[in-house]
Amino acid sequence: MGGFRLGLVRTVAATALTAGGLAVAGASPAVAADGATNDTVSVSGHGSVKGTPDTLVSHFDAHTRRASTQGALEACGRVVKRVVGALKETGVAASDIQTTGLSVGPTYNRHGKPTGFYRASEGLTVRMHPLDLAEKALDAAAAAGGNSLRIGSSSLTILNKEKFRSLARAQAFANAKAAAEQYAELAGRQLGRAEQIVGTATGPSPERVSPRPANGVALPASGGSAASASIPVSPGKQKISASVDVIWALEDAPAPTT
């Protein structure tokens, strides 16, 4: 029996830190509710891959101030139309432009008294893909909106995450299986069928970027050089990870041939 007695429990836990790298987390017996034991090996694996972001998601805020609510709304609508038109001209799909908020109301001075003016605001969320489209789209939107447009928070992401998650899952399972096979061999046993598989995938976490100037004001609508209005976007890399917990049955190793 290779050092195992019938009904003896051998449950070993390990964590795969990186592809090909393992760190033992410990060992403990697994006992069923009726007091019987399970002849298994339990291993955790971890895998990760890196991908280049190919999409930028940005939030725009068009805002105007006029002497009436209707005037403020109409002026804001004109700004939004110019911005959306500029985005579409650069290649942004209409389905990637979404209105995320609309508001209008009176403005107040520092003493809390109405100024007699009204401020209208409309928020847009814009997805720019592929990434080389983002720089042109941001420049065009800033020029179209002028001082009535604020480019807010933006984040880099990967559009097709599943391809990278699949690679990470395969890596995690391979690491877990390699560890399980090693423990089975050390115990004088061989690996049987996988009894239980529980997997999770994480990432990538969106990378926040700040394409607007540091003082937060909008880029000039006109009068500036192309270089001064350019908004560069550097994608870098994002990590996609997967973890898996697998329980394998342990079987008797075949008797050595004589």
Classify residue 39: in a domain, yes or no.
yes
Backbone angles phi, psi at 93, to 5 degrees: -70, 145
Query: What is the count of structural domains for the chain?
Result: 2
Please give the pLDDT value at position 228: 38
Please give the pLDDT value at position 235: 87
One domain for residues 64 and 139: yes
Classify residue 88: in a domain, yes or no.
yes
- Give the separation between CA 185 and CA 218, rounded to whole angstroms: 65
pLDDT tens digits in sequence order for the chain, 258 residues long = 333 332 333 333 333 333 333 333 333 334 344 433 469 999 999 999 999 999 999 999 999 999 999 999 999 999 999 999 999 999 999 999 999 999 999 999 999 999 999 999 999 999 999 988 999 999 999 999 999 999 998 999 998 889 999 999 999 999 999 999 999 999 999 999 999 999 887 766 554 544 443 333 333 333 333 333 467 788 889 999 999 999 999 998 787 776
pTM (two decimals): 0.65
Q: 3-class secondary structure for 44-70? A: EEEEEEEECCCEEEEEEEEEEEECCHH
Classify residue 69: in a domain, yes or no.
yes
One domain for residues 59 and 110: yes
Classify residue 225: in a domain, yes or no.
no
One domain for residues 115 and 21: no
One domain for residues 32 and 102: no
Please give the pLDDT value at position 15: 35
Range of the domain at 94: 55-157
